[in-house]
């Protein structure tokens, strides 16, 4: 009886929000992003926006304080006038940030 009780204490409960599907891992799921040798594209319901890394003109990151929660976002602006707003809710933001730091090391 005591052994069974100790086993139950040492076993970690399964996270009901975790997925067995590796595509749901936020650190590896590309989300709506696709990558090419010279840039990236973001697909949404209405369109596809393509941006070459060399055309990235400005990046603005900020934390918005909404009292009960904080919202972190990154705005990406290109020379062609396109802009993309990334929030922490967008699937694929972790791989994008990794690639961004590889392509633009000063970020």
Listed in sequence order, the DSSP H helices in the chain are 2-10, 93-103
pLDDT at position 26: 63
* pLDDT reading at 34 higher than 50: yes
pLDDT at position 31: 81
Is the pLDDT higher at 23 or at 78?
Answer: 78
Across 37-48, b (16+ Cβ under 10 Å) vs e yields eebbebeeeeee
The chain-wide mean pLDDT, for the chain, equals 77
Which distant-in-sequence residues (6+ apart) come within 8 Å of 38 by Cβ?
Answer: 52, 53, 54
Percent of the chain with pLDDT over 70: 73
Q: Where are the domains of the chain?
A: 30-107
Do the beta carbons of residue 74 and residue 59 sit within 8 Å?
yes
* pLDDT reading at 60 higher than 90: yes
Say how far apart CA 59 and CA 75 lie, in whole Å.
6
pLDDT at position 45: 62
As a 3-state breakdown, the chain gives helix, strand, coil percent values, each rounded to 5, of: 25, 35, 40
Is the pLDDT higher at 44 or at 102?
Answer: 102
pLDDT at position 105: 84
State whether CATH 3.65.10.10 applies to domain 30-107: no
């Amino acid at each position: 009886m005591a052994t069974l009780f100790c086993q139950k204490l040492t076993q970690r409960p399964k996270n009901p929000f975790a997925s067995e599907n590796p595509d749901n891992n936020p650190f590896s799921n590309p989300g709506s992003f696709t990558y090419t040798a010279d840039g990236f594209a973001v697909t949404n319901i209405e369109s596809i926006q393509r941006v070459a890394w060399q055309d990235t003109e400005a990046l603005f990151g900020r934390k918005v304080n909404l009292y009960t929660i904080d919202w972190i976002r990154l705005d990406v602006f290109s020379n062609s006038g396109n802009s993309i707003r990334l929030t922490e809710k967008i699937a694929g933001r972790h791989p994008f940030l990794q690639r961004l730091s590889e392509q633009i090391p000063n970020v």
